[in-house]
Amino acid sequence: MVDSVRSRSSVLPVETLELIFNHLDRCELIPLLGSNSVLHHIASRAVYRNVPETSSVKALKLIKTLASTATYSRHVRSINLDFANNLLTANILRLLNRALQKLKSLTALILDFSQTDNAADITWIFQGCSFSLTTFTSSMRCDRSLAKFLGIQPTITELCLRGFNKEYEFALEPKALPKLEHFRTVLSYPSIIGEVLRGRPVESVSMSLYPGDVCRSLDTLLLSATAIKRLTVMSFEIDPPITLLPLIADRLPHLEAFHLVVLMTHYTHVSFSSHACLRLSFAYFLQEILLEIGSSLAQFKALRYITFMAPGTPSSSNDEKSVAEVWSKACPTLQTIILPKGLVWFQKDENWACLKDHEE
């Protein structure tokens, strides 16, 4: 492919070559950087436009390149930098700051740091930056400094905070994040979730639920300026899922898409000498839980898509089909159901079928 492009580079317009390069994999583009100047210039735009997850030594080499020249940094629109396994020194952070200052066209930024690095305020790496983000993901701690940075990024529509947070002082200005639509968090306190959602047009939320904080966390969903249509929950709660769904339905009766991941190891304190017996017992246990959930779904008025995932041995396809039928009777608006086996169930000719059956 590379040889073919090189041979035609003298006759094809630059615009045509750029369209071709946009469809090449990154591994196919890299060799073109070492060819003639024309191909190098076009390939560099494609290579650096969207930089995938880059970690460890490669991340350091990358930010050094971006900090030293605008030749490549001016092309970057999105970048994913993972420093979780790096020991970040002050020199590295200053290098990162210089690299970020060069990324004037950046719109999507993912920054991950180790838990140790999150113990300090490192938001000064954004000093002097002029980019305007639409997507921001970071494991930085949620404190006053991060809130200040978010306050000067009015074009963010998607925000993900996944750091190990304590209840630092985190207060957003009322006018901050006016366009926020999607919010994801993993280890945040309800107070932080509420601070992000309050008065903002968030319609999609992904959150975790922990024992003792379930109701407080779910109450924050009522603070959005618009009705939340899509909700993803990772539940570490000790109560069974059948008690969780009514709590969600009471607050979000018009939810359209619901994805629930439940860690159920604390429900299965049963020991068997045979592993086969254990698998069969858990599959039966999970099937009973799934069937019980059906009655709770009746409270949702507009639910179209639902996913339920739990660890362990999944039920059989026939068992999952019976669950889909029970759920659809309780909630007639359902169109797509994904259960622990991973199959996608949908309604076809008034019956429920999965993609596997459909392919056959």
In a domain, 278, yes or no: yes
In a domain, 248, yes or no: no
* pLDDT per residue rounded down to tens, the chain (360 residues): 555 555 544 566 766 766 766 766 766 666 766 566 666 667 777 778 889 888 888 899 999 999 998 888 998 999 999 988 888 889 999 999 999 999 999 999 999 987 666 556 789 999 999 999 999 999 888 889 999 999 999 999 999 998 766 666 889 999 999 999 999 998 778 999 999 999 999 999 999 998 888 999 999 999 999 999 999 999 987 778 888 999 999 999 999 999 999 875 545 444 444 444 444 444 556 778 888 888 899 999 999 999 999 876 666 788 899 999 999 999 999 999 999 888 899 988 778 998 765 444
Q: Which two tokens stand for residue 67?
A: 């900090």
In a domain, 32, yes or no: no
In a domain, 264, yes or no: yes
State the residue range of the domain holding 271: 253-360
Extract long-range pairs of 131-135: CB within 8 Å, 24+ residues apart: 131/100, 131/103, 131/104, 131/105, 131/106, 131/107, 132/107, 133/106, 133/107, 133/108, 133/109, 134/107, 134/108, 134/158, 135/78, 135/107, 135/108, 135/109, 135/159
In a domain, 273, yes or no: yes
* Strand 344-348 with 336-338, pairing: antiparallel
Domain count, the chain: 1
In a domain, 148, yes or no: no
Tell me how far apart the alpha carbons of residues 213 and 241 are, in angstroms, rounded to a whole number.
15
Q: Are 64 and 95 in contact (CB under 8 A)?
A: yes
In a domain, 330, yes or no: yes
In a domain, 125, yes or no: no
